[in-house]
Amino acid sequence: MEMGFHIGEIKAQGLAGVRLPDDFAAKMYRNFIPEAARGFLQKQVFVFLATIDRTGSVWASVVHGEPGFIRLEEARKILITGTFNQGDPFVGNIQENGQIGTLFMDLLNRRRLRVNGKAAFDEGHLVIHPEQVYGNCPKYITTRRVKTDKNNEQLMKSVIKGTRLAVSQTKWIEGADTFFIASTNGSGEMDASHRGGSPGFIKVMDDKNIIFPDYFGNNMFNTLGNLESDPNAGLLFIDFIDCNTLQVTGKARVLWNEGAAKEFPGAERLIHFEIDRLIETRSPFRFSSELLERSPFHPV
């Protein structure tokens, strides 16, 4: 896996009017999990995934479990033993492809770690071998206290598939303060990232098209650089009240032209996302969630 910036990231930096030193990424990335991150991983209840299917469609997914469901067997081997929803595309994608992007995120303390590499299933475990590891800043994270709700583990799951957003799904997206985006660099390598903002920061244009802002970040442009290399992307929305998930896959395009983001406070540019397919899963897992604080970086 590339340890420096790939051509798409370099292009995105140029379009944004910035250029980080050639060795910036190489100095920041690791191909192993630092010892200091071991305790962080073991405390998490979510891991967010990016995978790609045989058609080239990219999917964002989530696996949930009690603290300890993620463990580091060695510096380059992560074992995950959470609940794997067999209806989620990531299961088959990993079996067919083996490339994965992961985001380990502490919603309570605004910490996150990205781990990209190879993955496989082995004796009921999801095994990840890191090839690119790096931390992210805490910006734009809405804090939540989340814990497993054992009283509701037996609720029946149901799945709704489609190619267009229903009215209820439109309201869900437009009321969201958090979502996750999966992307690929054109060589099949994957990345999972987080996006946050005040409710209403995502606009549904119609039942096939979504617009959302890109705020100031670390200037590495990992996600936007991937989109410049390959427009296939996936979005994941989580209903933190009823514990449902909405996954959409399609194509994303960055709107770099000046003025495109003028109606979105604080946005530096916009991303247009066109939906190809969607999966809404009701009660894929159960947890209780308490919203604590919107990020102070969210534009008003």
1 lies in a domain?
Answer: no
CA distance 278 to 164: 7
145 lies in a domain?
Answer: yes
Mean pLDDT of 235-263: 92
pLDDT tens digits, 276-297: 999 999 887 778 899 999 999 8
Residue 78's contacts (CB-CB under 8 Å, 6 or more residues apart) are: 33, 41, 70, 71, 72, 115, 127, 128, 129, 130
Mean pLDDT of 186-211: 96
CA distance 288 to 247: 21
Output phi, psi for 80, to 5 deg. Answer: -120, 130
124 lies in a domain?
Answer: yes
Give the three-state DSSP class for 74: strand
CATH code assigned at 46: 2.30.110.10
2 lies in a domain?
Answer: no
Question: For residue 222, what are the domain limits?
Answer: 7-293
- Report pLDDT for 152: 53
The mean pLDDT value of the chain amounts to 92
181 lies in a domain?
Answer: yes
- Report pLDDT for 172: 98
221, pLDDT greater than 70: yes
Segment among 25-29, 137-141, 202-206 with least mean pLDDT: 25-29
254 lies in a domain?
Answer: yes
Domain count, the chain: 1
Pull the structure tokens for residue 194.
Answer: 């987080």
298 lies in a domain?
Answer: no
